[in-house]
């Protein structure tokens, strides 16, 4: 479980995140959605400890995240960004095993874990021996996911993970990710600006606008009980302008 | 490799640590080289004395600092220079007065060698005749003449500033020119007037008229020995032998010896030996082309090469050891960025000879001072490239490393330094190539290297010797560049190389 308590962040006069309180349920997938600059990425980066909030605190499980314990706390988080954020000077496998090797885990345990994970994300052994620049976008994203899962963290955080992919790879990966989330029962927070993706993944959806939470609830809540017209506008705007085009999920 | 470098350092430092019995210094011009050689050979001829001659250490400031610091025991100096430039006396002093002033520094002056080599101005005989110029005073009527003076003459109190005031000369600040090049410049008509020494070998050869110092501005520049006061007690026999040189060298003899060096291409050792009536075994110049190749691959080739390479790479090694951490500091601590980059930038702008003159009192003449100077010059490219390489890493990668939960030092070692490696290596390469060139100045303070040939080539106006130093330095620079390109392929991770084996997806 992740608790965000009265967390706020401003840059100069710009409010990136107004005082926000949120609980992310353990074992569920929560999606943060909203237009650019709504504060969804800021909130995610505060949970990872990449941004220190001006006020408030973040609890991961029972423990508050501080500057002193951030390093160790991060070992219990898997963080995946757009295009994987892989280190170009390391092969895919070296990227995946970097932290485990640094923490002096046995090579036997590391190898077992890599085999299990490559089966899980369906990545071939040959791809693992390549450098990031020689991998396709989808492969890079799978490697990024393997790296995040390496130490089997309880929490997975995704910042627009599929944003840079072509539609076919993207839909393929969406299905795979959904299955992985269901199988592993991790606490997942996923940032996206795509309503279809939010609807597909989210047990809970949090819609943000200008640094504030507009509405939090299930897809049905947002569709049937919008708290303000903006919720409906936001969902509508994401449908195809073509009247005959049917959104597959909504 | 480390052992090899350690051996180099020991070898290089040996001469300064275990000083020979008598160490003679000289300034960077022909006459001083010859006199230094005469002093050295005279000492060698004394029973039980070994003597070393550190040739062409530099200008007055550097050689005097070397004497004061104890790096050398004795060197040939001129009374006028001592009087005005070193002791800064307002009125000319006699030798007894000079000795009283020098005693507190542990130095003394003695043994007038017998000739006076004063400054004078000279111009082509024909032009002087046509314009009717005989004396310095006559120059005041011809502000249109082009004048270029040696840097030292321009700067010193008993040189141009005083002369201009004394004669009210109408020239604005004259151009500076190396003394070794001024005769060529006058012969080609690029300049009309330059400063000369009255014992210069080329006055006759270039048909110059030496103008008369009609108001007696220049003091006497009698040649004498400037020495450390402990010398006569430490080596009484040697000192007695040196005292016998008193009055032995006439002005005419000195001009002749200078001509032997500069016009006939004899070595300083040969000339000194000839003067001391010893056997002359070194040959004079033969076919110029053969002489260039002989000079290029002369006996000292490997010695100079080793010295040059040691200077470049030892200073570079320290440059890396200090520069990379400084660059990391500049990249990681925003408040430190500007101060660090500014300071290493400013160091780069200090002219090399000025930096050396500043370092000599601290590190003595020779290899240590040269290494420190080269080390300081090596810093800027290394620090700047380390800083740039680290700052240019995309923030998404820095954050990925942070989000993994790697501690600061591990992020630096495992992620940031490998990603910046190519830029850092390029900075080290730049420093290495620049150092190969800059290391030629080491010769001016007796630290050896190819610069020895360049310095003596300049002093002698001997292009073959000059090129025999400049060409190997240029070749070495190319080799260093090539070596670093190979190192780049070898060290940079395959994932960062632009070309890699193409793989089917």
A75 touches chain B (CB under 8 A): yes
Closest Cβ opposite residue B407 in set A71, A77, A135: A71
Using a CB-CB cut-off of 8 Å, the residues of chain A touching B399 are 50, 81, 85
Q: What is the pLDDT of residues A168-199, one digit of tens each?
A: 888 888 888 888 888 888 999 999 988 888 98
Q: What is the pLDDT of residues A42-80, one digit of tens each?
A: 999 999 988 889 999 999 888 888 888 888 889 889 999
| Phi, psi torsion values for B20, nearest 5 degrees | -70, 170
The reported pLDDT for the residue numbered B179 is 76
For residues A83 and A164, is the Cβ–Cβ distance under 8 A?
yes
More confident residue, B329 or B168: B329
Q: Which two tokens stand for residue B67?
A: 């004497």
Between CA B47 and CA B49, with CA B48 as vertex, the angle to 5 degrees is: 95
The CA-to-CA distance between both ends of chain A, in Å, stands at 28
Q: Which of A107-111, B48-52, B485-489 has the lowest mean pLDDT?
A: B48-52
Please identify among residues 136-165 of chain A the ones whose CB lies closer than 8 Å to any CB of chain B: 136, 147
Q: Which two tokens stand for residue A110?
A: 């590391």
The reported pLDDT for the residue numbered A244 is 57
d(CA B266, CA B273): 11
Tell me the pLDDT of chain B averaged across its residues: 84
Selected residue of B403, B409, B414, B498 to mutate for chain A interface (largest A Cβ count, 10 A): B403
- Closest-CA distance, B504 to chain A, in angstroms, reads 9
For residues A78 and A149, is the Cβ–Cβ distance under 8 A?
yes
Q: Which of B73-87, B100-114, B258-272, B487-501 has the lowest mean pLDDT?
A: B487-501
Which chain A residue has the Cα nearest residue B496?
Answer: A89
More confident residue, A87 or B454: A87
Using a CB-CB cut-off of 8 Å, the residues of chain B touching A130 are 503
pLDDT (average), residues B408-436 = 94
A130 touches chain B (CB under 8 A): yes
Contact between B495 and A133 using a beta-carbon 8 Å cutoff: yes
Using a CB-CB cut-off of 8 Å, the residues of chain A touching B503 are 130, 134
More confident residue, B445 or B469: B469
The reported pLDDT for the residue numbered A245 is 52
Q: From the centroid of its chain, how far is CA B372? A: 14
- Closest-CA distance, A135 to chain B, in angstroms, reads 7
Looking at the domain that runs over B20-115+221-277, which CATH code has it been given?
3.40.190.10
Contact between A74 and B403 using a beta-carbon 8 Å cutoff: yes
Q: Is residue A125 part of a domain?
A: yes
pLDDT (average), residues A111-124 = 91
Using a CB-CB cut-off of 8 Å, the residues of chain A touching B418 are 89
Contact between A72 and B405 using a beta-carbon 8 Å cutoff: yes
Q: Is residue A130 part of a domain?
A: yes
Q: Is the pLDDT of residue B429 over 80?
A: yes
pLDDT (average), residues A125-139 = 91
ipTM for the assembly: 0.87
Contact between A102 and B406 using a beta-carbon 8 Å cutoff: yes
Render B375-409 in DSSP notation, one character per residue.
HHHHHHHHHHHHHHHHHTS-HHHHHHHHHHT--HH
More confident residue, B467 or B359: B467
Q: Is residue A237 part of a domain?
A: no
Using a CB-CB cut-off of 8 Å, the residues of chain A touching B419 are 87-89
Q: Could you tell me the pLDDT band of residue B460, with boundaries at 50, 70 and 90?
A: low
Name the domain count of chain A. Answer: 1
Q: Is the pLDDT of residue A237 over 90?
A: no
Q: Is the pLDDT of residue B58 over 80?
A: no
Q: Which of A128-132, B144-148, B309-313, B472-476 has the lowest mean pLDDT?
A: B144-148
More confident residue, B289 or B488: B488
Contact between B496 and A102 using a beta-carbon 8 Å cutoff: no
Which chain A residue has the Cα nearest residue B415?
Answer: A87
Q: Is the pLDDT of residue B204 over 80?
A: no
The reported pLDDT for the residue numbered B113 is 92
Fold of B119-210: D-Maltodextrin-Binding Protein; domain 2 (3.40.190)
A67 touches chain B (CB under 8 A): no
Contact between A74 and B407 using a beta-carbon 8 Å cutoff: no
Q: Which range among A205-219, B151-165, B358-372 has the greatest average pLDDT?
A: A205-219
3-state helix, strand, coil in chain B (%, to 5): 60, 10, 30
pLDDT (average), residues B285-302 = 69
Q: What is the pLDDT of residues A134-144, one digit of tens each?
A: 998 889 999 99
More confident residue, A165 or B420: B420
d(CA B49, CA B51): 6
Which class does domain B301-492 fall in? mainly alpha
Contact between B404 and A99 using a beta-carbon 8 Å cutoff: yes
Q: What is the pLDDT of residues B315-336, one digit of tens each?
A: 999 999 999 999 999 999 999 9
d(CA B52, CA B366): 13
Residues of B with CB under 8 A from a CB of A: 396-397, 399-407, 410, 414-415, 418-419, 493-496, 500, 502-503, 505
Between CA B486 and CA B497, with CA B492 as vertex, the angle to 5 degrees is: 95
The reported pLDDT for the residue numbered A205 is 93
Please identify among residues 158-197 of chain A the ones whose CB lies closer than 8 Å to any CB of chain B: none
Can you give the residue range of the structural domain that contains A134? 88-152
- Closest-CA distance, A35 to chain B, in angstroms, reads 21
The reported pLDDT for the residue numbered B226 is 95
Contact between A81 and B396 using a beta-carbon 8 Å cutoff: yes
Q: Could you tell me the pLDDT band of residue B237, with boundaries at 50, 70 and 90?
A: confident
Q: Could you tell me the pLDDT band of residue B451, with boundaries at 50, 70 and 90?
A: confident
Task: Quote the crossing angle between the two packed helices B60-69 and B352-363, to the nearest 10°.
Answer: 10
One fold for B119-210 and B301-492: no
Say which residues have a Cβ less than 8 Å from residue B320's Cβ, sequence separation at least 6.
B382, B428
Q: What is residue B449's three-state secondary structure?
A: coil
Q: Is the pLDDT of residue B288 over 50?
A: no
Q: Which range among B149-158, B172-181, B420-429 has the greatest average pLDDT?
A: B420-429
The reported pLDDT for the residue numbered B215 is 85
Domain parsing of chain B, residue ranges: 20-115+221-277, 119-210, 301-492
CB pairs below 8 Å between A and B: how many? 68
The reported pLDDT for the residue numbered B501 is 43
């Amino acid at each position: 479980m992740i608790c965000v308590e009265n967390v706020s962040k401003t840059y100069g006069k710009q409010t990136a995140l107004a005082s926000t309180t949120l609980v992310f349920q353990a074992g569920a997938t929560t999606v943060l959605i909203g237009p650019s600059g709504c504060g969804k990425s800021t909130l995610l980066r505060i949970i990872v400890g990449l941004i220190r909030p001006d006020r408030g605190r973040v609890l991961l499980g029972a423990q508050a995240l501080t500057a002193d314990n951030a390093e160790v706390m991060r070992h219990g988080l898997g963080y995946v960004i757009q295009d994987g954020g892989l280190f170009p000077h390391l092969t895919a496998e070296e990227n995946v095993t970097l932290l485990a090797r640094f923490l002096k885990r046995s090579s036997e345990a590391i190898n077992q874990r890599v085999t299990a994970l490559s089966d899980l994300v369906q990545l071939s052994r040959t791809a693992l021996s390549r450098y990031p620049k020689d991998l396709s976008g989808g492969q890079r994203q799978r490697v990024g996911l393997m790296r995040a899962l390496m130490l089997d963290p309880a929490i997975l955080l995704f910042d627009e993970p599929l944003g840079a992919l072509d539609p076919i790879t993207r839909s393929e990966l969406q299905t795979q990710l959904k299955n992985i989330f269901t199988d592993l029962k991790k606490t997942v927070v996923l940032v996206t600006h795509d309503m279809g993706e939010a609807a597909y993944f989210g047990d809970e959806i949090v819609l943000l606008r200008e640094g504030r939470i507009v509405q939090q609830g299930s897809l049905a809540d947002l569709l049937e009980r919008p708290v303000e017209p903006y919720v409906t506008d936001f969902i509508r705007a994401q449908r195809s302008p073509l009247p005959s085009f049917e959104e597959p999920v909504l | 490799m480390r052992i090899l470098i350690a051996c180099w350092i020991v070898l290089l430092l040996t001469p300064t640590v275990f000083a020979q019995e008598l160490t003679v210094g000289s300034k960077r011009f022909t006459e001083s080289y010859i006199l230094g050689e005469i002093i050295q050979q005279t000492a060698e001829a004394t029973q039980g004395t070994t003597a070393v001659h550190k040739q062409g250490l530099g200008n007055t400031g550097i050689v005097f600092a070397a004497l004061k610091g104890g790096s050398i025991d004795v060197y040939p100096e001129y009374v006028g220079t001592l009087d005005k430039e070193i002791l800064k006396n307002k009125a000319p002093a006699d030798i007894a007065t000079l000795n009283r002033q020098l005693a507190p520094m542990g130095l003394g002056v003695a043994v007038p060698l017998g000739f006076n080599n004063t400054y004078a101005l000279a111009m082509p005989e024909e032009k002087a005749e046509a314009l009717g110029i005989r004396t310095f005073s006559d120059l005041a009527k011809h502000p249109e003449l082009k004048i270029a003076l040696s840097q030292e003459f321009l700067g010193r109190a008993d040189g141009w500033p005083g002369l201009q005031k004394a004669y009210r000369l109408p020239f604005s600040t004259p151009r500076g020119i190396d003394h070794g090049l001024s005769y060529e410049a006058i012969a080609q008509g690029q300049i009309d007037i330059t400063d000369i020494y009255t014992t210069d070998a080329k006055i006759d050869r270039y048909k110059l008229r030496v103008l008369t110092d009609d108001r007696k501005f220049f003091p006497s520049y009698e040649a004498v020995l400037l020495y450390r006061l402990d010398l006569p007690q430490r080596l009484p026999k040697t000192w007695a032998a040196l005292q016998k040189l008193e009055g032995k060298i006439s002005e005419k003899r000195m001009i002749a010896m200078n001509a032997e060096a500069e016009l006939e291409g004899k070595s300083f050792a040969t000339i000194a030996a000839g003067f001391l009536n010893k056997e002359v075994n070194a040959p004079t110049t033969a076919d110029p082309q053969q002489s260039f190749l002989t000079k290029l691959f002369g006996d000292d080739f490997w010695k100079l090469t080793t010295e040059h390479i040691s200077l470049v790479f030892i200073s570079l090694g320290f440059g890396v050891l200090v520069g990379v951490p400084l660059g990391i500091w500049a990249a990681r601590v925003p408040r430190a960025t500007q101060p660090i980059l500014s300071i290493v930038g400013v160091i780069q702008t200090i002219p090399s000879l000025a930096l050396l003159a500043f370092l000599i009192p601290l590190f003595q003449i020779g290899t240590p001072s040269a290494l420190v100077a080269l080390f300081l010059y090596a810093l800027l490219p290394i620090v700047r490239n380390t800083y740039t390489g680290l700052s240019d890493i995309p923030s998404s990668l820095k954050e990925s490393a942070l989000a993994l939960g790697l501690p600061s030092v591990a992020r630096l070692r495992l992620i940031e330094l490998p990603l910046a490696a190519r830029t850092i290596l390029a900075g080290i390469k730049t420093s290495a190539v620049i150092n190969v060139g800059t290391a030629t100045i080491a010769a001016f303070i007796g630290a050896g290297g190819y610069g020895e040939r360049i310095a003596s080539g300049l002093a002698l106006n001997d292009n073959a010797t000059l090129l025999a130093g400049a060409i190997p330095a240029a070749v070495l620079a190319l080799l260093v560049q090539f070596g670093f390109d190979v190192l780049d392929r070898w060290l940079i991770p395959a994932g960062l190389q632009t070309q890699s084996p193409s793989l089917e997806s």
